[in-house]
Amino acid sequence: MGLETDRDAKRGVCRDGGVVPKTGVVVSKQKKVLVTGASGFLGSHIVEAAHEAGYEVHAIIRETSSRRWLKHHWLNIHTVGLNRCAELSDILSKMDVVIHNAGATSGYSKEILQKVNVEGTKAIVEESIKAGVKRFVYVSSQAAGGPSKGTYPKTEDDPDCPISTYGFSKKTAEEILLGLRDRIQIVILRYPVIYGPRGEEMLPIFKILSGPLQPVMGFKPLYTSMIYVTDAAQAAVAALQAKVASGSIYYIADGVDYTLEYLYDLIGEALGKKGLRIKLPLWIVSIAAWWVHDVRKKRLSFNREGVREFKARFWLASSEKAMRELGWKPQVLPQEGFAKTIRWYRYKRWL
């Protein structure tokens, strides 16, 4: 993909519609970082953020993975499964640090979540230890901590209470890593909803809000934290060399407490659309989710477990600890983030 012009390079604008991350992290001596799950939404942005920070970037992808966001001349791509220990060990022996971003998301079966999120994480961290990797940054999820208590943003000191199979799988992976924190430096990042260029999970919402009718799930307010994708990527890179205790956990969010109505307002304003909002009872949403996921077999985050998380209503998290200890700070305000996202969707004709 690359940059279109020298002027674009200075502005940080990518030809694929994303932005070149400005991490504020500069590596004094070039280190090698391995990024798993690099072909995906967040992973591809982490790759760019790490390169911008001065790392020699290596990426692991599956043979079936698309390389559409990875067309960088400086990127070293390795096509290998996380279960191929011999090949993985050889690659890891040359790495200084790892960002483990690969994982199965909400919507997959319990068996796949166990195999990918739990067993896959265990396999790569054990190989990383054998290879002498110094630090292992794990891309986890707010789902591992569970919902917040009312409108009080959840902190790392609050007890964890995952309520979905996906959340339990990420929490289990975290526990495996914490059990190894004396053998390798472990940093865990818990992300909320991530949005931005290249993201497909939120695209259906943007499409719905482009129309005349806008369904709103439930009659009570839903609260959530969010983060723009380049800010999310910069947090992962900051975690590579921040001087923090092994086993540290951080929530990564932009500091805005979104309600579903406010989210609709922001996206609608960026789209230049204002439709009629119709509130739907959650039992109707549950039936629709069952039909889409279980009957039509479409793997979407819109499933019964997703509805269960909606029912919890409060998904707020505080990133104060991350800002204090990682030397990281979100840079993109929601109005700017949604405008950039919509421009990119339209540029790619996704919207």
> pTM for the whole thing?
0.88
Contacts of 49 (CB under 8 A, 6+ apart): 21, 23, 230, 233, 234, 236, 237
At residue 275, the pLDDT reads 86
At residue 291, the pLDDT reads 53
Q: Which of 31, 14, 98 is nearest to 60 (CA)?
A: 98
List phi, psi (to 5°) of 153.
-55, 135
At residue 108, the pLDDT reads 80
At residue 143, the pLDDT reads 96
**268's tokens:** 């609608």
Place of tokens 């289990």: 172
Domain residue limits, the chain: 28-199+227-254+318-332
Given a cut of 70, the residues of the chain with pLDDT beneath it are: 1-28, 282-304, 306
Tell me how far apart the alpha carbons of residues 199 and 196 are, in angstroms, rounded to a whole number: 6
List phi, psi (to 5°) of 148.
-85, 170
191 strand-pairing partners? 141
Buried b (16+ CB within 10 A) or exposed e, 228-238: bbbbbbbbbbb
Q: What topology is assigned to 28-199+227-254+318-332 in CATH?
A: Rossmann fold (3.40.50)
Burial class (CB in 10 A: 0-12, 13-18, 19+), 135: buried
Contacts of 137 (CB under 8 A, 6+ apart): 97, 98, 99, 100, 187, 188, 189, 236, 239, 240
Q: Can you point out the beta strands (E) in the chain?
A: 32-36, 56-61, 76-79, 97-100, 135-141, 185-191, 193-195, 213-217, 223-224, 226-228, 248-251, 258-259, 276-280, 314-315
- Please check whether residue 174 is in contact with residue 188, taking contact to mean a CB–CB distance below 8 angstroms: yes
- Cα–Cα distances (Å) from 31 to 97, 129, 160, 201, in that order, read 8, 17, 34, 32
At residue 218, the pLDDT reads 72
Contacts of 103 (CB under 8 A, 6+ apart): 37, 116, 117, 120, 121, 139, 170
